[in-house]
């Protein structure tokens, strides 16, 4: 598959092909199997829940511990709920979940497609008249795009639970008081910002993983390089996009 002869323009051309394929798919002209979509969706959602749970619970607990150590000096321990709630909803749940999915699912996408490229399976699809972007990329990007917001919401809940456990243990704050304070601190703007981030992060991770896999070198070393590049580029991209979101949110006073 030759998107363009110019390597610097290849990612732009790839993005354009994914967008055109997605528009055609929304019109009912998809060319992938629903069985493949279901398999990828399960891998992006249910199978990722254990690691997302552990990481977000620990992040929420760490935020609560750091906040409690500082706030208790001023007799404002109850505000640890505000700290954890806002930090988790606006930043940490989206970022940490995205990093986990980049290392888990994005790397899997890259390794799978790179192996197919090395075995010339992608060329075989092209010979059969199946476009690799339509058949391989679109279901993976779509699954990650729509599952990331759900994982974000779940990450928020588990992060709040981790913070509540630490607050109850260190500050003797009851669960009812903690949740009441959290509900007062959180607004729909915080949650909306986090959901918007999760959509963008999901699309980024999916496309980077598929891109690195499709354009991997056709040997065993190429699979490892593609997997490494997918994880590194995805994580760096998530951090850069989060900084852009932060600037935009500040400009919009969100």
- Work out the average pLDDT over 202-212: 90
Asked whether the beta carbons of 100 and 144 are under 8 A apart, the reply is no
The SS3 of residue 146 is helix
Residue 118 neighbours by CB distance under 10 Å:
18
Q: What do you get for the CA distance between the two ends of the chain, in Å?
A: 43
Please tell me the pTM assigned to this model.
0.86
Report the alpha-carbon distance of residue 179 to residue 164 in Å, rounded. 8
Nearest C-alpha neighbor of 159 from the set 108, 199, 102, 100: 100
- Work out the average pLDDT over 206-222: 86
Confidence grade of residue 2 (pLDDT, cut at 50, 70, 90): very low
Report the alpha-carbon distance of residue 62 to residue 162 in Å, rounded. 8
- Work out the average pLDDT over 164-186: 84
Per-residue pLDDT, 135: 79
Give the percent of the chain with pLDDT over 90: 25
Report the alpha-carbon distance of residue 231 to residue 180 in Å, rounded. 38
Residue 223 neighbours by CB distance under 10 Å:
22
Q: Which DSSP symbol is given to 218?
A: S
Asked whether the beta carbons of 138 and 25 are under 8 A apart, the reply is yes
Confidence grade of residue 18 (pLDDT, cut at 50, 70, 90): confident
User: Per-residue pLDDT for 234 more than 80?
Assistant: yes
Report the alpha-carbon distance of residue 211 to residue 114 in Å, rounded. 9
């Amino acid at each position: 598959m030759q998107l363009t002869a110019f390597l610097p323009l290849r990612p732009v051309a790839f993005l354009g092909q994914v967008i055109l394929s997605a528009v055609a798919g929304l019109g009912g002209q998809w060319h992938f199997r629903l069985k493949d979509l279901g398999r990828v969706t399960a891998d992006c959602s249910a199978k990722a829940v254990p690691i997302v749970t552990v990481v977000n619970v620990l992040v929420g607990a760490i935020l609560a511990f750091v906040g409690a150590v500082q706030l208790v000096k001023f007799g404002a321990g109850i505000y640890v709920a505000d700290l954890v709630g806002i930090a988790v909803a606006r930043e940490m749940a989206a970022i940490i979940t995205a990093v986990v999915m980049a290392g888990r699912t994005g790397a899997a996408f890259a390794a799978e497609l790179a192996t197919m490229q090395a075995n010339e399976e992608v060329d075989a699809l092209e010979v059969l008249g199946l476009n690799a972007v339509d058949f391989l990329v679109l279901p993976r990007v779509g699954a990650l795009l729509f599952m990331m917001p759900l994982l974000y919401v779940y990450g928020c809940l588990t992060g709040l639970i981790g913070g509540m456990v630490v607050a109850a243990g260190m500050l003797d704050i009851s669960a009812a008081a903690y949740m009441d304070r959290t509900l007062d601190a959180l607004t729909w703007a915080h949650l909306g910002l986090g959901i918007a981030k999760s959509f963008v992060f999901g699309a980024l991770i999916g496309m980077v993983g598929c891109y690195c896999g499709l354009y991997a070198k056709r040997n065993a070393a190429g699979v490892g390089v593609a997997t490494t590049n997918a994880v590194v580029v995805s994580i760096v991209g998530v951090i850069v996009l989060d900084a852009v979101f932060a600037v935009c949110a500040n400009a919009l006073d969100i």
